[in-house]
Amino acid sequence: MASQDDFRRQVEALRPYLMRFASLQLRDAAAAEDAVQEALVAALAGESSFAGRANLRTWLTGILKHKIVDAIRRQSREPVLAPGADDEGVEFEELFTERGHWDERPAGWGDPDGALEQQQFWRALEMCLERLPERTARVFMMREHMGFETGEICKELGVTPTHCWVLLYRARMTLRECLQQTWFGKQ
């Protein structure tokens, strides 16, 4: 019985991480809370299937990813805002010449591998992700963090492949600009 209590404590200790992960994906505190709660219930119910073959955090994140996809599906069935309302964003044409080259090359980022290891970088990235429009952030996180293919993203969110690529482009450019200002430009 003590091992079951220990398992529950370990699962509960990962709750703050799971909440951050779900909040970045769903952009809705209530939906994130629901997804995390569903994941925790599923994890506790499936304790016997865990068996320690994987890292507990990895296993819980996998369960949470499925719950997030379920939440996204539910949200996609709900009425949406006016078309284009979440596609606001900075246009990047002024950064390039008419021939498509950088007007002013971005400053070098020094040692990006070293920066990735720093906890402050992750906080800056999280802040930049929170600034993205909701759908843009969702597409980016589904692609880059959850590993979804473009077709899967299009199916889940009801967007065309072209629109998906535009959203990914906008996300990457906005994140690059934000990180340049909040992280790499300060070093």
Q: Measured between alpha carbons, how far is 165 from 169 in angstroms, rounded to an integer?
A: 6
In sequence order, what are the residues at sequence separation of 6 or more whose Cβ sits closer than 8 angstroms to the Cβ of residue 115?
A: 109, 121, 183, 184, 187
Q: What is the DSSP string of 31-79?
A: HHHHHHHHHHHHHHHTHHHHTTSS-HHHHHHHHHHHHHHHHHHHHHHS-
User: Looking at the chain, how many residues does it have?
Assistant: 187
Mean pLDDT per 10-residue run, the chain (187 residues)?
74 89 84 90 81 79 87 71 50 76 77 71 85 90 88 89 93 91 74
Angle between helices 15-26 and 2-13 (to 10 degrees): 40
Task: Report, in this order, helix, strand and coil percent for the chain, each rounded to 5.
Answer: 70, 0, 30
Angle between helices 29-45 and 2-13 (to 10 degrees): 160
- Kindly state the DSSP code that residue 117 receives in the 8-state scheme: T
Do residues 107 and 185 lie in contact, with contact meaning Cβ atoms separated by under 8 Å? Answer: yes
Res 2: pLDDT: 46
Res 90: pLDDT: 55
Res 6: pLDDT: 83
CA distances from 168 to 32, 41, 143 (A): 22, 33, 8
Whole-structure pTM value: 0.55
